[in-house]
Each structure stands twice: as structure tokens, then as C-alpha cells.
Amino acid sequence: MAPYNSVMGQVHQINTSRGGVPKLPVEMAVVNESGLIGDEQADKVHHGSPDQALCLYSLEVIETLRREGHPIEPGSAGENVTVSGLDWTEVTPGRTLNIGPVEAEITFFAEPCSKNARWFKDGQFGRMKESRHPGESRVYAKVIKGGPIRAGDPVELVG
């Protein structure tokens, strides 16, 4: 298999909460192997493992959903990092994202949660399910190398 070319995007928004959704924007955050310092998950059974240290979503996918009439905003779906400028269909398990100084490996597609129903007209939160709408799901990542991140930082999709 030929190696992937690297592709550049950027951090649109960093989002945290004390548990649950929506996650709200913050200016900067420090990332370690557990995720964003200061971010909490309400459901520790289904969220927060090392393979789920970061949840990422595409600004362009969010904008597509908004054009369809869904009242979703960056951070609404519980993503820690909203990314712009990447072909989200290429952000798949096994690929690496360099987010500023942070290195993270995409581990799997995030399953939609009923707590996200309010961000979708008629409560159809399954609209984020990868098997129904390929390339439009949130993704989880494990942190390989931590560090501080800010909105505007470069995001490089490699490997």
C-alpha cells in the first residue's frame, strides 16, 4: 500500500464541559493521555477510555448538517476538537493527526448517543452514524504525545 500524503487543516474550536453536552469553547487546553485537562464525561462507562481520549468532529460536516436544518453547533455533539479544512472521509481509524504539538491516533468512529438528539431535527441523532453516512461521523483518538492546543493550530492528517 502506498503511504498517505499529509493533508493540512486547522483547529476551529476546542470544547470542554464538566460532563455531558454541549461542550463549550475554550481558548486553549492541555492534552494528555487522558484527553483535555479539565474536560469531564458524564457517562464514564461509554466514554473516557484511553482509546477515547479525544473526540473530534469536522466543521464542514457540522455546516452540512446545519444546511439540512439540524440545530447543531461546534461542541454540541460532544467533540473536544472541531477541525476545519480536512477531507473528513480520510479521517479514519489507524490514521494519525498532529494537532499543534499533539500527536493522536484515530481509534474508531464514535457511535451516536441519544443525548445528541436535541441537535437534530426530529431527534434523528443517528444522522451521525458512520455506517449510514460514511465520512460524517465523529471520531475518537488516543493520545500518543500530549501538549497545549489552541484554536487556529495546524492539524495535519498523516499515515
* H-type alpha helices, the chain: 59-67
Q: Quick one: pLDDT at residue 5?
A: 62
The residue among 62 and 49 whose pLDDT is bigger is: 62
Domains of the chain in start order, with CATH, are 7-158 (2.40.33.20)
Query: What does pTM read for this prediction?
Result: 0.92
DSSP for 92-130 reads -TT-EEEETTEEEEEEEEPPP-GGGGGGSGGG-GGGG-T
Q: How does pLDDT run across 124-145, given as a tens digit for each residue?
A: 999 999 999 999 999 999 999 9
pLDDT more than 70, % of the chain = 91
